[in-house]
């Protein structure tokens, strides 16, 4: 049983900001920025990659709803919406979840992108060849 399932089952406390039949949203204990919130489905699935389309739709709809609540409550307009899928992507709890991270400045959270532009043609060919 994951930490998130224990939160759903109310076995451990959480700062729940939204709940409906399908999803639960609560403040992330780490607070990357003030208001950092997690949205999870109540039905367990490992990650974004294993979630069915209905689960994805419910989680995204809840993420938008909660972001709008945060926008008003915290007077913030910009957000990163992130879902880590797998250990190399930084996933540490293997229950699908979306991070809603309010942004107050361009320096409050650093997300860096590498430069792989030189390989873009090769990457494109691999994707186009293997995905129908």
Q: Which residue in the list 95, 97, 113, 116 is annotated as catalytic?
A: 97
Cα distances (angstroms) measured from residue 82 to each of 9, 39, 73, 112, 123: 24, 10, 21, 14, 23
Pairing mode, strands 37-41 and 78-82: unpaired
Catalytic residue status for 97: yes
Distance of CA 4 to the CA centre of its chain: 13
What residues are annotated to the active site? 97
């Amino acid at each position: 049983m994951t930490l998130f399932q224990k939160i759903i089952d109310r076995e451990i406390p959480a700062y729940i900001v939204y709940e409906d039949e399908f999803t639960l949203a609560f403040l992330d204990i780490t607070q990357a920025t003030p208001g950092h919130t997690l949205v999870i489905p109540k039905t367990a699935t490992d990650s974004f990659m294993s979630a069915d389309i209905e689960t994805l739709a419910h989680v995204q709809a809840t993420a938008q709803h909660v972001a709008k609540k945060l926008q008003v409550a915290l007077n913030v307009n910009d957000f990163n919406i992130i879902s880590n899928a797998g250990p190399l992507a930084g996933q540490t709890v293997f229950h699908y979840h979306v991070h809603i991270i309010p942004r107050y400045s361009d320096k409050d959270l650093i997300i860096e992108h590498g430069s792989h532009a030189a390989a873009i043609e090769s990457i494109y060919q691999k994707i186009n060849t293997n995905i129908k």
